[in-house]
Amino acid sequence: MGKYIVRRLLQMIPVVLGATFIIFAMVFALPGDPTAGKCGERPCSPEFVAKFREEHNLNDPLPVQYGKYLGKFVQGDLGTNYYGIPVKDDLAKRYTITGRLALMAIAFEAIIGILAGVLAGVRKGRFIDNLVTVSTLFVISIPVFVIGVLLQYLFGIKWGLFPATVPSLEASTWSLVLPAFVLGSLSIAYVARLTRTNLVENLRADYVRTAAAKGLTKSRAVGVHTLRNSLIPVVTFIGADFGGLLGGAIVTERIFNIQGVGGYIWKGINSRDGVAVVSAVTVLVIVYLLVNLLVDLLYGVLDPRISHD
């Protein structure tokens, strides 16, 4: 087990290096000069451009730029973005808030999604099953910004049950409930459907019949034996989804004014702010890899047949 983890961690190094270089090259391959839009419709003065290019190493060839960046990156210095704000401080704050949001969304997914899936699975073909199937279909078919704006209007503005937006400073967990629910809504539907399908499939398996035959109660047969097996694809989905929620929360973040990672990357790309984009995405890659490792380890817990030795 320990050996397995060490091996996986070592494998991450080339993946991270490769990913950063590709992102770095891609950001710099984008057309448009970073200084072109900085002074409005008026072109920037040559002095401004020269100082700007000098400060951000833009005059070096790409591999040199990358080398300089990497050298600092290894020492934990992520540099400053084009607005002179240290990327590290920015990212720390933004990953904290987006991370909280994503974790809460995952909690919604896991709790509501699995519960609905199990209910629908064990009562296959009955009312609750149809209700879950139809309502999840409904959620999946609506774009997330519609759900977001609608819930914001109803709960935030009309009824005033939740804050309409999230305060930028010291965002309370309470103010994040609504955005997290919106962010997770699509995945709740997927998790419910995934759980239901797997459960229905596994309920027909031989070992479930055996469990019933040896006199186990239904709740134990379903809860312990069937569900554990059925959750493997669900855990895979949730794991992959966590990374996706971190980078992909941009729509939800804009609606609820959360200064998160998605908006940071979007803005960075728009202003050709290579250093900011690469650092933000690199962190994202690392999170993805770690979550993936965690998911792989969870397989072993859920199904002892999958061993990592």
- Contacting residues toward other proteins, per CB under 8 A: 31-34, 36-53, 59, 83-85, 89-90, 93-94, 149, 152-153, 156-157, 160, 163-165, 168-169, 253-257, 259, 263, 270-272
Calpha distance 110→25 (Å, rounded): 38
Question: In whole angstroms, how large is the CA radius of gyration of the chain?
Answer: 24
Specify the amino acid at residue 137: L
Nearest distance in Å: CB 146, other proteins: 12
Q: What is the DSSP letter of 226?
A: I
Nearest distance in Å: CB 237, other proteins: 29
70: Cβ contacts below 8 Å, ≥ 6 apart: 17, 20
Nearest distance in Å: CB 249, other proteins: 13
Calpha distance 106→97 (Å, rounded): 14
CB nearer other proteins, residue 44 or residue 70: 44
Nearest distance in Å: CB 90, other proteins: 7
Of 144, 229, 137, 234, which is closest to residue 184 (Cα–Cα)?
Answer: 144
Nearest distance in Å: CB 272, other proteins: 6
Of 251, 262, 130, which is closest to residue 185 (Cα–Cα)?
Answer: 251
CB nearer other proteins, residue 36 or residue 111: 36
CB nearer other proteins, residue 36 or residue 137: 36
Nearest distance in Å: CB 199, other proteins: 39
Nearest distance in Å: CB 198, other proteins: 38
Calpha distance 227→200 (Å, rounded): 10
- The torsion of the CA quartet 89, 92, 93, 98, rounded to 10 degrees, works out to 150
CB nearer other proteins, residue 277 or residue 285: 277
Query: Coil, helix or strand for 134?
Result: helix
Nearest distance in Å: CB 244, other proteins: 20
CB nearer other proteins, residue 195 or residue 252: 252
Q: Which residues pair with 86 in a beta bridge?
A: 80
Calpha distance 223→231 (Å, rounded): 11
CB nearer other proteins, residue 188 or residue 258: 258
CB nearer other proteins, residue 32 or residue 223: 32
Calpha distance 204→141 (Å, rounded): 30
Other beta carbons within 10 Å of 225? 19
CB nearer other proteins, residue 40 or residue 125: 40
For residue 186 the two structure tokens come to: 């699509």
Nearest distance in Å: CB 42, other proteins: 5
Cα–Cα distance list, 24 to 11, 34, 120, 246, 290 (Å): 21, 14, 46, 20, 22
CB nearer other proteins, residue 13 or residue 29: 29
Of 256, 285, 276, which is closest to residue 97 (Cα–Cα)?
Answer: 256
